[in-house]
Structure 1
Amino acid sequence: MNKAVNEREAELNFRAYHTDLTKMPNKRKLFDDIDYLIRKECDGFLLIRFRVLEFEELNFSLGLDIGEELQLAAANRLMALEDEAQFYQLYPSEFALLTACNTVQADEQSINVILQCLSGLVNLQRISVTLHTASGYCYYPKHGENARELLHNAGIALQQAMKLKVPSLEFASSMAESALMRVRLTHELTEAIEGDQLTLHFQPKLNLKTSRIDKVEALVRWIHPELGMIPPDEFIEIAETTGQIDALTDWVIKNALNQLGIWKELGFSLGVAINVSAVNLKQKCFDSQVLNLIAQCGCDASMITIEVTESALAEDPEQALLILDRLSDCGLSISIDDYGTGYSSLSQLKQLPASELKIDKAFILNVATDEHDKTIARSTLRLAQQFGLRTVAEGIEDKASLKWLTENGCDYAQGYFISRPQPAEQLTLWLNTLNEQSWPIEEPVNYLS
C-alpha cells in the first residue's frame, strides 16, 4: 500500500515539474532551481532563453502533430547535451538553460553550441525542415535578484535578438526601457491611427530626362503628443507584428491620394509612390482594398506606384505575385525598393509585374568616387534597361552623384541634395518656386533645408 502511495506521489511530483509531451523540466522547475541557487548564495549563474523561430508557422500551417513532433525532436537534441548543464522547456517553441558562469568566451561558446544543436535540418515524418534559433541571456546577480526578474530580462534580450535578427544578445538595462516603450507605443498606435497624430511627409523624385519634379514618395510620420516625432522604424514593425499594419497602410494610401487630388487642383501634375509591407502582401484582399480607396478618391491609377522591398517579396513570393499582378493589371506601377540588398533573382525579377527598380542608397552615396559602387550601379542600370524597367536612385546627397547618374542613364533621382521629405504644405510652397515643376540641376536652390 505504502509503495503504491509513494509511486503515485512520485508520479504527481514528476508531472508537476515536467512537461507532458517532452518530459523536460518545466518553468516551475526552473523557478525552483533558480531559487535554490540563490539561497545557496552561489557566486553567480547564467540563464539563457532560446526559441525555435519556425515553430509557430509550422504548427499552424502543418498541424499540431507536426508541432508536437518538432518539440520532441528539439528536446531529444537538447537532452544529448545535458551532461553540460540543465535544460528546461518553457513553451512549445521556447527552452531555457541554467548553468554556472564561466569566462565570457566560454559562455558565448556554450550559447553557440546550443544554437547549432537546434538549428539546421530536421527530418520529421511528413516533411524535412530547416530550423533557425535565437537566444537572449542574463547573469545572476548582475541582471536580476530573483527568478522572475531573471527570466523576464532574458526574455527581453531574446525578443531584442529576434527583432534585430541576430543569433544572441546579452540583456542590457536599455533593453528594458525599450521594451516598456514598445508596450506603450503598441497600446497607443491604434489611437494614433484613428486620431490626428499621423502625418505624411513627401520626398520629391527628380525626372533626370526632363529635369522636372513629377513624382513624390509618401512617408508616414507619427507626431506623438508627449514623445514628439517617432521614427517610422520604431512603429511600423510594431504595426506589422500586432495586426495594425492594414489600418496604418489604409491611412497612408487614403491620405496620400487625397493630397494628390489637392495638388491636381493647384495645377501640379504629380505621381505618388506608397510603401507597402510584406504583411500587406499576405492579405488576399489587399489589392481590392487598394483599388477601393483609389475609386473613393477618384484618382488615376496610373499616377500611383506601389513600392515593395526585395525582402517583402521573398517572404511569400506566390501570394505577393498574385496581389501585384492584379494591381498592375489595373494600371498601378510596381517598384522594387532597395534593390541590391535583398533576395531577388533574375528569374524572379522576370516574373514580377515590376515597372521600376530603386537602387539602394548604400550603392549611391559614393557612386561618383567609389569604383565598386560605380560597377554595381552601372550593372543595375543596364539590367533594368534590358528588362524595360524605369530606374530610381535614392540617397543623392551631392551634385557629383547626380551628374554621374544622369550621364549613365538613370531615370529618376531622390535624396537630400534635391529635397528632404517635407509636409505637404511646405512641399507645395517649394513647388510654387519652380518654373512648371522644373528643377535647376546645375545650380539647385535648396528652398527646403
Structure 2
Amino acid sequence: MAISTPTSVTDICLAAKAAAKPLAALGADVKDRALHAIADALVARTPEILEANAKDLEAGRANEIGDALLDRLALDAERIEGIAAGTRAIAALPDPVGETIDGHRLPNGVDVRRVRVPFGVVAVVYEARPNVTIDAAGLALKSGNAIVLRGSSTAIHSNRVLAAIASEAATAAGVPEGAIQLVAGGGREELAELATQDGVVDLIFPRGGEGLKNALKAVATVPVIYAASGNCHLYVDASAKLDDAEAILINGKTQRPGVCNALETLLVHADAAAEFLPRAAKALHAAGVELRGDERARALAGPGIPIALATEEDWATEYLALTLAIRVVDSAAEAIDHVGRYGSGHSEAIVTQSTDAARAFQLGVDAACVYVNASTRFTDGGEFGMGAEIGNSTQKLHARGPIGVRELTTFKYLIEGTGQVRA
C-alpha cells in the first residue's frame, strides 16, 4: 500500500513535508496523469469503497448521528462517479503553479514578477464527508502541495480506503510517496498535535461546524483558514417575480438541507408578503419543512400551516435540517441589516426586479457570495468551475468563498536585473 503508516501525527506531517519539495517541482503532465489515475481507481474500486462506507453508515445509525450527517456520510456508485468526475475536472484546469499574477519594470530597469507557488504542506480537517478526502487530495496535488487529511471517526473506514486509493494511484503515476497522508481521526489531542506543527504544516483548512472551529482556535499555532458555517438568507423583495422566488426558496432549502449553502432564513418584503407567504408556506410544508416565523409571517402564512413563533436564537441558527425561519421586513435596508446581524458571511440571495434593490443588496451585504435571482446552492467549487473545493471560506484573507487550486497557492516575487544596485 503506497500510503505510509507512520506511528504519530508528527511522523505523518514530516513524511508529507519530505514529499512537498519534489512535488512542487513536478510538471503539470505528471500531476494530471496522477489525477486521472485516481479517478480511474475510484471507479474500478467502487465495491471496496461502498463496503467500507457501509460500515460507517451502520455505526452512524447505531450512534444516532442524525439524517443530515448520514446524508453527508453516505456514498453510492453515482456519488463515487461524481467524485471521480470532479477529479478529472481538476486535471483539466490550468496548472496554477508558476502562473504570473502580475509584473512590472522599475524605473531602474529591474523586472518584478509575482508568481504562484505551492504552500508546501496543507492539512484539511473535516467532518463526516468522505468525498472531501478525494476532493482535497486532488486539489492539493494539482496545486503542488503535499496534504495531511484528518477526517472524523464517523467516516474512518471510508476515509482509509479513499486515501489509500488516492495515494497508491498517485504514487504509481509518479507523485512522490508520502504526498497524500491520512490521520486516522482520533480525539482532540490528535487535533491539537496537528494544529501545532509549526515549520512542518504551512496551513490548515478546517471544514466543519462551530465546534471544530472553536476547538482549533483554542490550540492552533499553524495558520488557519476557516471553511465555516453557513447561516444563509433569501430576501424576497417587493418587486420579485414570485414564481422565481418560490423556485429559489425550495431549491435552497430542500435540495440538500444538511449543507452549508442551504437556506436557513427567509426574509420577505411586507409589500410581497401577503401574496407570497401563503404559497411559500404551503410549498415548504408539503416538502416537510418545519417553519418558525415572526408574528407577521405567522399571520400571513394562511390557515392550516403550522408556524412556531421564532426566537432570537432561531435567527442565528444554522439548522442544517428541514427547518426554516421566516421574517417580514419593511425594506431592503431592513433585510440587509438583518443579514448583517445574523449572517455568517457565507452566501446570501435577493430575488428582485429592481436594479436599485439588487445593487443595494450587493453592496450592503458582507458575504463571500452574494446572489441576485439565483439559488445559494451554487456556492460550490464544482459549480464555480473549480472541479471541486476544500471548503468555503467565510474569512477575508486571500481565500474567500470556494477554496480551489488557486486558493491553495501563495506567491513569491521574482526579481531580475542586469547588475543594478540600490543608491
Q: TM-score, normalised by structure 1?
A: 0.23
Structure with higher RCO (Cα < 8 A, 6+ apart): 2
Q: TM-score, normalised by structure 2?
A: 0.23
Say which one has the larger Rg: 1
